[in-house]
Structure 1
């Protein structure tokens, strides 16, 4: 969706000029390694999503039929990109008339690795690395399969760098679908058998002509 932070800030300033905080944009656009800030703690000038856009209210489900679950994850400690794209996904669902349960924050997943610092002199020394995965979940309700597919295709077209997505779909089929599948498999088996018989007949005729 955006190639860098400056492109995203320019897009947000054009779309939501009165909700944009220039001071917050400069604070977020400043690299953390240049200021020496700790990525594990929120920065004092960190940007909140409310500085850009007003809070969005998801459409309420009418029947409560769960059709899909969208999971988003990001490794960015400031979590602005993650919340921004989650808000964008809810607004897109509202535009497609797909009710959702809003944005739910999932527990942070921490991964730890311990590796040797190096061979020879530093062989006994070890170094620790860790990574924190921030996640969001959005449940979709009361929509047809075609509408959900169009919504997911739209989100893939506007996906944001640094934010990974995973979708769990729940499809519902009418009664008797297994009989249809069995009939299809039987028809496929019969067609394969007829092809084998035709191939054997061609080989037999070829051998007769060459004998």
Structure 2
């Protein structure tokens, strides 16, 4: 894992997960140009971000990400927490 700064949260760690790549081929012309093809790919990159912070600060950061959406980026979040004693 490497250090990652998410705004003012200094103790966030990022771990890159395997990249999924889908390749597909499209025929450019259906008749005489059958051998003429174009190839495209879709890459899905996944990251696991571990943040040790207070709930209120985390909620502010997630609201910021929700308001400032990045085109072409899909964000899914799953939460797991440990109560402090």
Taking structure 1 as the reference length, the TM-score comes to 0.29
1-side partners of 2:14 and 2:27: how far apart? Answer: 40
Greater strand percent: which structure?
Answer: 2
2-side partners of 1:104 and 1:154: how far apart? Answer: 22
Q: Which runs of 5+ in 2 are unaligned?
A: none
Greater helix percent: which structure?
Answer: 1
How far off is 1:116 after superposition?
1.9
Larger radius of gyration: 1
Counterpart position of 1:151: 61
Helix, strand or coil at the partner of 2:60: helix
Taking structure 2 as the reference length, the TM-score comes to 0.57
Q: Which runs of 4+ in 1 moved over 6 A?
A: none
Aligned length: 81
Any conservation in 2 of the 1:113–1:128 contact (CA below 8 Å)?
yes
**Coordinate RMSD, CA, aligned:** 3.4
Establish whether residue 122 from structure 1 lines up as the match of residue 28 from structure 2. Answer: no
Residue 136 (structure 1) aligned to one of 43, 47, 55? 47
Q: Which runs of 5+ in 1 are unaligned?
A: 1-55, 58-86, 173-211
Establish whether residue 111 from structure 1 lines up as the match of residue 13 from structure 2. Answer: no
How far off is 1:161 after superposition?
4.6
